[in-house]
Amino acid sequence: MRTRRDFLKTTALGAGALSLTPCFNLFGAEAPGSGFPKRFVFIRKSNGERPLELALPTFSAQDKALDEKKQPLEVALDRHELPVYLRGLEKHKANMCILQGLSCMMSENGHFSYSSVMGAYKSNRDSLSGIKRATIDFELAKLYPSPFGHIELSLTGNYSTHRTGIVSGYSAPGPHQRNYCYADPMTAYNELFRSVTNPSVVQSDNAMFKFLEREETFKASVLLGYEKQKLSNHILSIEAIQARNLKLSKMAGSIAKHLPKIDKVHENGGLTATAPQKQEAMTEILIAALITGLTNVVTYTIDELSTPMRGLPGNEGDNVNIHGIGHNGSFSGVPADKIRENIRILHMQQVARIVERLKAEPEGNGTMFDNTMIMYFPEGGETHHGSGSEAPFVILAGDNCNLDLAGRYIRLPYHATEGHKTIGNWYTTLLNAHGNPIKHYGDFDLVMARLKLDQSGAIKQFMA
């Protein structure tokens, strides 16, 4: 028999009921007018993203000079070769934007950004008090409701082993609230798809939730003030998860058609799985979650500095230390720059897998990818110890993404110059283009403010 303590340990509620309320209450809303939601995939990488590595190798001499001087520039991708690590996306150039020139100096930089790079604020490292607002992924999830609202996946570790189970995430559903995330593929599979794989557990959960709801409602009748408000939020979480489980049960038939195939190597935390195997399995989870409609927004931390990179092509026998290569360390004679490139190539293989699978999935008169945007970006700016003066994005956008940027290499004006744009401007653009008229999302850049340079609002040239 499962006790209440056992139940809370093994459900999303046990991962932080209060933080889940803003997310789980979303899916009751109606679908967008078009009948098809927009989808957003945020892929966070560690160790920075050096802008020079995104430069097009076939730039003209004039364009190369402008790019190196960080002057505004825009060229068509179909006239150029891509950098080596992006060539796995060659056939998707019409949907690609290499976006240079954004900055993220208002967020944490250096080794870890925690929630700050997606919330455009200083987060005081990993403290709850530093989380100022819902991160951009949660804000977009509000616009396109789904049963899970938002799903966070994370391949992180402690340098020698990967994290497993349900752990603290990097996104935030609201001020002073930390999201949870799935840290290994099998946990994600079991939790997200159990309405199909283990429906009896869902039914058992619903019975337990009814008991908890009665118990917590009684407590609410004798509590006052802040404690009563906390309990009220707790009860709302219980009710929302009950409703979600009911909806998932009704969706079980369609979900069953798209269950991801997860290799047995990932059982029991996947302790023997290599980093590429884990990345591939997480990508399968991500794709299935989108296709089945469990979510329309996924945030995927594909690696962080402490993620053990075992099985990396070119260094198959090594446990590559990402932090070490950030300090120009080599492994088995392979120089740091080559290892960095090999890691990025692996990342792009996963991006290509997402794009191609969604392009193969019919939706309306087109495909699911038509309504999808994938963003690949560094969590800490332009290099290992980044200042945040640059935050490059590689974007894959479907034809219905509501933004005008695909098929181009775009360099915006450099930091602290007239016309410069921050990640706050970029996130404002995403929100404005998809139904949230917010004047500006995120904190302002202090250097820009001292120079009295305008930094508010969306990037108008991208608005379709």
pLDDT tens, position by position, for the chain (464 residues)?
Answer: 444 444 344 444 444 333 333 333 333 334 455 689 999 999 999 999 999 999 999 999 999 999 999 999 999 999 999 999 999 999 999 999 999 999 999 998 878 888 999 999 998 877 888 899 999 999 999 999 999 999 999 999 999 999 999 998 999 999 998 999 999 999 999 989 987 877 766 655 544 455 445 555 544 454 444 444 443 444 445 566 667 777 787 888 889 999 999 999 999 999 999 999 999 999 999 999 999 999 999 999 999 999 999 999 999 999 999 999 999 999 999 999 999 999 999 999 999 999 999 999 999 999 999 999 999 999 989 988 889 999 999 999 999 999 999 999 999 999 999 999 999 999 999 999 999 999 999 999 999 999 999 999 999 999 97
Collapse the DSSP code of 322 into the 3-class scheme (helix H, G, I; strand E, B; otherwise coil) and give the result. helix
Strand partners, 396: 96, 374
pTM: 0.88
Identity of the residue numbered 188: A
Q: Are 305 and 322 in contact (CB under 8 A)?
A: yes
Gap between the Cα atoms of 46 and 277, Å rounded: 18
Residue extent(s) of CATH 3.40.720 domains in the chain = 36-193+265-462
> b/e map of 147-173 (b: 16 or more CB within 10 Å)?
bbbbbbbbbbbeeeebbbebbbbbbbb
pLDDT value for 252: 87
Q: Are 392 and 100 in contact (CB under 8 A)?
A: yes
What are the distances in angstroms from CA 184 to CA 112, 119, 274, 374?
20, 25, 12, 21
Gap between the Cα atoms of 213 and 358, Å rounded: 39
Gap between the Cα atoms of 20 and 3, Å rounded: 22
Tokens of 425: 């401007």
φ, ψ of residue 367 to 5 degrees: the values are -130, 170
CATH architecture of 36-193+265-462: 3-Layer(aba) Sandwich (3.40)
pLDDT value for 213: 52
Strand partners, 279: none
pLDDT value for 60: 98
Collapse the DSSP code of 272 into the 3-class scheme (helix H, G, I; strand E, B; otherwise coil) and give the result. coil
Gap between the Cα atoms of 138 and 152, Å rounded: 10
